[in-house]
Amino acid sequence: MEKVIIVGSGCAGLTAAIYAARANLKPLVLEGRQPGGQLSTTTMVENFPGFADGIDGPQLIMNMHAQAERFGARFSYSEVTGFEPAGNHIRLKADDEWLETQALIIASGAAARWLGLENEEKLVGHGLTSCATCDGAFYRNVPVCVIGGGDSAAEEAIFLTRFASKVYLIHRRDKLRASKIMADRVLAHEKIEPIWNTVVTKYVPDEKGEMAAVMLRNIESHEERELEVACVFVAIGHDPNTQVFSGKLETDPDGYLLVRHLAESKHPGVFIAGDVADRVYKQAITAAGSGCAAAIEAEKYLSGLPPA
Ligand code: NAP
């Protein structure tokens, strides 16, 4: 029987691991399909307090991982495929093995959203991706496009200007949702061309199955046209990774886990942190803060103390 299992190893899960480890609970962190979470696929993080010159996302995550390990957190790459609350403990299936724990911290984060167009699955890795930091360098001196109008799209577009000959930013509205500082940078960049009020209706692969172009439709004029691009970077937000908990823990209609007070779920011993429950802020620092709260609440629960 474990004392605390933490599902997820992004900013929320690793912060929970640091706090739980320092409370001598020897947490077991199940890192899952995307170790390090969303920060592992981002570039410079400029708004995490304490790093006046910014810090590389993967570096920030590696630092948190080392910090948690230093205090005794244990890590496993396994992914949770089953969840059964059982009386005063919780059963979790991690890969093929069932584990038991007295307390559980769910910090499973959120996964990139896709457009749902024809051939989408086949084209992933062949000129279709949701990660500029992972794949941007493969597309040098060719035109690419980013879809979306939020901070992720802005950040990806700016990053891609290092490699691509041209970056089209395709957005379904006539202004960006991104924060002002990011939006201003995008709009001032000579390599970035925004294409407003426009949606992608089709991916157009070449005869080898590699992305060659996209079909665009202007949602006001309904005009259609083809745009040649070697890669499409989809940055239209994320969905919470809660499939395994669905029907067993409370969620909102979009699948975000519901939190009663700070980090507490309705089920005793189950605590929640980070983007898996956050449809509002979704920042590294808020994820870290909720990871801290979840670990403190788990510690109190295990000591028989009342919650906050
Ligand atoms: P987001 O803010 O939810 O933006 C998603 C964008 O994609 C929106 O512009 C949305 O259009 C568009 N979109 C959604 N579904 C679409 C579809 N089916 N077809 C076409 N476009 C679609 O997501 P995000 O950019 O990933 O950011 C998530 C959170 O992380 C935000 O709170 C953001 O501030 C934060 N973040 C911060 C940083 C940073 O501070 N460095 C970096 C990245 C992300 P509409 O505008 O029409 O809704």
Query: Tens digits of per-residue pLDDT, 273-298?
Result: 999 999 888 889 999 999 999 999 99
Catalytic residue among 135, 151, 275, 278: 135
Same domain assignment for residues 97 and 74: yes
The tokens of 161 are what? 């200007």
Same domain assignment for residues 85 and 163: no
Instruction: Give residue 84's pLDDT band: very low, low, confident or very high (50, 70, 90).
Output: very high
Instruction: Give residue 308's pLDDT band: very low, low, confident or very high (50, 70, 90).
Output: low
Catalytic residue among 53, 56, 96, 131: 131
Query: What's residue 150's pLDDT?
Result: 96
Assess whether pLDDT exceeds 70 at residue 249. Answer: yes
| H and E: helices and strands count for the chain | 7, 19
Same domain assignment for residues 100 and 20: yes
The count of residues in the chain is 308
Same domain assignment for residues 143 and 224: yes
Q: How far is the CA of 112 from the centre of ligand 1 (A)?
A: 10
Protein residue with least CA distance to atom 33, ligand 1: 151
Query: What's residue 91's pLDDT?
Result: 96
Q: Span 206-227, mean pLDDT? A: 97
Assess whether pLDDT exceeds 70 at residue 239. Answer: yes
Query: What's residue 307's pLDDT?
Result: 67
Which comes out higher in pLDDT, residue 42 or 302? 302
Active-site residue 96, yes or no?
Answer: no
CB 215 within 8 A of CB 226: yes
Residues with CB under 6 A from ligand 1: 47, 115, 147-153, 155, 172-173, 177, 199, 235-238, 282
Protein residue with least CA distance to atom 14, ligand 1: 236
Same domain assignment for residues 242 and 226: no
The pTM assigned to this predicted structure is 0.81
- Which residue range(s) make up the domain with 82? 2-111+238-303
Query: What's residue 90's pLDDT?
Result: 95
Please give the tally of structural domains in the chain: 2
Same domain assignment for residues 271 and 213: no
Q: What is the dihedral of CA 79, 76, 15, 302, to 10 degrees?
A: 90
Whole-angstrom Cα distance, residue 289 to residue 293? 6
Protein residue with least CA distance to atom 15, ligand 1: 236
Protein residue with least CA distance to atom 29, ligand 1: 282
Q: How far is the CA of 229 from the centre of ligand 1 (A)?
A: 22
Query: What's residue 305's pLDDT?
Result: 74
Same domain assignment for residues 204 and 270: no
Same domain assignment for residues 131 and 227: yes
Same domain assignment for residues 94 and 58: yes
Assess whether pLDDT exceeds 80 at residue 42. Answer: no
Q: Which of 217, 282, 286 to mutate to test the pocket of ligand 1 (most atoms within 8 A of CB)?
A: 282
Same domain assignment for residues 273 and 292: yes
Active-site residue 145, yes or no?
Answer: no
Q: Span 52-77, mean pLDDT? A: 96
Assess whether pLDDT exceeds 80 at residue 264. Answer: no
Domain annotation covers residue 308? no
Local structure of 7: helix, strand or coil:
strand
Domain boundary among 204, 234, 264: 234
The CA angle 303-27-247, to the nearest 5 degrees, is: 85
Which comes out higher in pLDDT, residue 261 or 2? 2
Query: What's residue 262's pLDDT?
Result: 72
Same domain assignment for residues 199 and 218: yes
Nearest C-alpha neighbor of 5 from the set 84, 86, 75: 75
Instruction: Give residue 46's pLDDT band: very low, low, confident or very high (50, 70, 90).
Output: confident
The tokens of 156 are what? 């990806």
Active-site residue 53, yes or no?
Answer: no
Instruction: Give residue 212's pLDDT band: very low, low, confident or very high (50, 70, 90).
Output: very high
User: Taking all residues of the chain, what is their mean pLDDT, rounded to a whole number?
Assistant: 94
Q: Which of 55, 152, 184 to mutate to test the pocket of ligand 1 (most atoms within 8 A of CB)?
A: 152
Same domain assignment for residues 167 and 122: yes
Report the CATH number at residue 277: 3.50.50.60
Query: What's residue 89's pLDDT?
Result: 92
Domain boundary among 234, 266, 295: 234
Which comes out higher in pLDDT, residue 268 or 150? 150
**14 Cβ neighbours under 8 A, 6+ residues apart:** 29, 61, 64, 65, 67, 68, 291
